[in-house]
Structure 1
């Protein structure tokens, strides 16, 4: 019984060490700051305020979902990112997927994640925010 408990404890500690954040991922913060319709709702320009470790670069994936009657309009896209250590604006464009539904002014769920890499490793900050789309 002691051997089983000791084994479980060691496995748990090993998992904790493997999942601990790397220095590159320790200080990343993301917030949606604007979402503007493009081409009458066929696309959406999304601006994010990003704070991350200087020297990291990469991009962000964008996913937008908005209720449209009893269906959901869906858009996805990306944008490039370069970290300076200070808050900065990252802008990406998401395009509406098939199905004929366009995005409209109003509330939408904007989510996604970054892949930011440098010499010290990579950071993968994620975000999800309800935000009001404007024209």
Structure 2
């Protein structure tokens, strides 16, 4: 992964590219195509995580569990990633992906708990959750 200088991406109005650079530079943030599903055994998967603050707070209280916060918007996820890094939380990762990509991001039966913040119309998503 190439290091991006966030100062090269400042947009006065929204600063979105700046946040994408911060997301890219974080060791706990992943784009869908960078994600390694063989290493993705997860205790708690949050879909539609937004900032990921919910998963970040749970990860802080449960250091022996693995958490993944998923959202399609990197500029939201990076807020949770920055907080997790500042708080020294090591058991959380942030994945920028669409819900329909999750079947390709995780091995079947590799997720213990699934949190979703909206109605998912992908019935196969249940195959990710262990019995």
Larger Rg: 1 or 2?
1
TM-score over 0.5 for the pair: no
**What is the TM-score normalised by the length of structure 2?**
0.26
